Amino acid sequence: MDYYKKYRLAVGRPAIVVVLLLVSVFVVHGQTGGSTIASQKASVTEFDVNGLRVLVRKRENAKTVSGGLFIKGGARNITAKSAGIERLTLQVATEASKSYSRDVLRRELAQTGSALGAGVTNDYGVINFATTSANYARTWKVFSDVVLNPTFADPDVERVREVILTGLRNREDDADDYLDSLQEQLIYSDHPYANDVSGTEETISSFKPADLRAYHKDLMQTSKLLLVIVGNVDPATVEEGVRSSFGKLPVGRYKETAYPKLDFSKPTLDVTARELPTNYIKGVFNAPSLKDDDYYPMRVAITILRNRLFEEVRQRRQLSYAPNASLDNFEVNTGNIYVSAVDANRTMTVMLDEIKRLRRDLVREYDIESVAGGFLTSYYLDQETNAAQAVDLAKFELIGGGWENSFSLLDRIRSVKPEDVRAVSQKYLKNLRFVVVGNPVAIEKAIFLQELN
């Protein structure tokens, strides 16, 4: 989640600059809230239970415990015909289980102040929980039974199905959601990511309870799973619970296959006509992933670009309220620039000129220090909850080269040099593939398809 953007929009540009300047003092002098990388790593215990990898981060002062069972594979687990089955399976699983009917489950969660959830991304799925430290043992029984023994009762399947379908039907009603959908169709053509993990109306409507039971059975092999728990809980207690539940699962022979690369060999432009008061534009480019050394200077480059777009497009020229540049966090990664503007050609000229400047000129050390300060702020915002820390550990373990790398983010950002920013800008900020929803007549192709020198 882009906390920096949300905070900037909430308090305004001057306030965020003050925050960045104040917090960057600590970053420049190597302070990270008194916590060193070594001590952070030492707080994590890792072990294996019958092929199931488990990470436990103990936080003695925390009053809560959060965790998740992460399913490897993401879009690689599905086909065009089965798109969305993992999402539906995981969400229905949290409705009821063998030992906890729907009513009993909700009463148990309410009494313990606990919550269950489920979700999917292009790279993994998850069933997660959150509870108080005092109720961890009680909630663990609920969580493990929901994961291992979901009932997939017909009423539960239909209830969750309808919620998902409502969201899918609303996607085209929102211009930004529709733009994202078109962008994914274009960029992920002939790639596993083309299999929409959220599902389609056709696929979600087609799945029967028996399909979900069969899919769930295939998921339950320890070689396909990762368990991450964060909070005030003893790792030995976690291990005991895992052995008595998930330790009975088959290991299986799951092996992840490498994703193919995306095609960014040349710039492209795809315009979808819609009668709208403005044009919605997204330009996507190739980007390094979490496990790549280029990821860190790219994070700096994108943040500097975002700031410049805000200044040039919104503040100085008032061409758009919300220009943006962002970097995704997928195993096969992309970044993008985005804007909604009436004068699409003039706006995009300004935005592409800022990319050219980033590719051509060295940024100031001060700019990087400010970005590092911003990352320190967002890092601690992200780390406020056990749930966020669990996701962070899992994300780095699954697609970021190992969970240990989650603790070196700030140091890696702090070590970025102006030459690194220019190098990654030249390497990645080119051959943008544009998707536009709006008025085709208002789009001058030469501007969007120009070479970025």
Which two tokens mark 104?
């009993």
Distance in angstroms (rounded) separating the CA atoms of residues 275 and 81: 32
Looking up tokens 């960029």, which residue turns up? 187
| Euclidean distance between the first and the last CA atom of the chain, given in angstroms as a whole number | 31
**Three-class SS state of 341:** strand
Class at the top of the CATH hierarchy for domain 3-31+261-448: alpha beta
Distance in angstroms (rounded) separating the CA atoms of residues 292 and 302: 16
Residue by residue, pLDDT tens for the chain (453 residues) are 333 233 233 333 333 333 333 343 333 434 444 457 888 899 999 999 999 999 999 998 889 999 999 999 999 999 999 999 999 999 999 999 999 999 999 999 999 999 999 999 999 999 999 999 999 999 999 999 999 999 999 999 999 999 999 999 988 788 899 999 999 999 999 999 999 999 999 999 999 999 999 999 999 999 999 999 999 999 999 999 999 999 999 999 999 888 999 999 999 999 999 999 999 999 999 999 999 999 999 999 999 999 999 999 999 999 999 899 999 999 999 999 999 999 999 999 999 999 999 999 999 998 888 887 777 777 667 667 899 999 999 999 999 999 999 998 888 988 999 999 999 999 999 999 999 999 999 999 999 999 887
Domain ranges of the chain: 3-31+261-448, 41-248
Candidates 3.40.390.10, 3.90.230.10, 3.30.830.10, 3.40.50.720; correct CATH number of 41-248?
3.30.830.10
Helix or strand run (H / E) with residue 14: helix 13-28
Q: So what's the pLDDT on residue 384? A: 72
Looking up tokens 């009917």, which residue turns up? 101
Q: So what's the pLDDT on residue 372? A: 78
Q: So what's the pLDDT on residue 314? A: 95
Pairing of strands 44-49, 433-438: unpaired
**Common-topology check for domains 3-31+261-448 and 41-248:** yes
Q: So what's the pLDDT on residue 27? A: 39
pTM: 0.88
Distance in angstroms (rounded) separating the CA atoms of residues 402 and 412: 15
Which two tokens mark 123?
């790279």
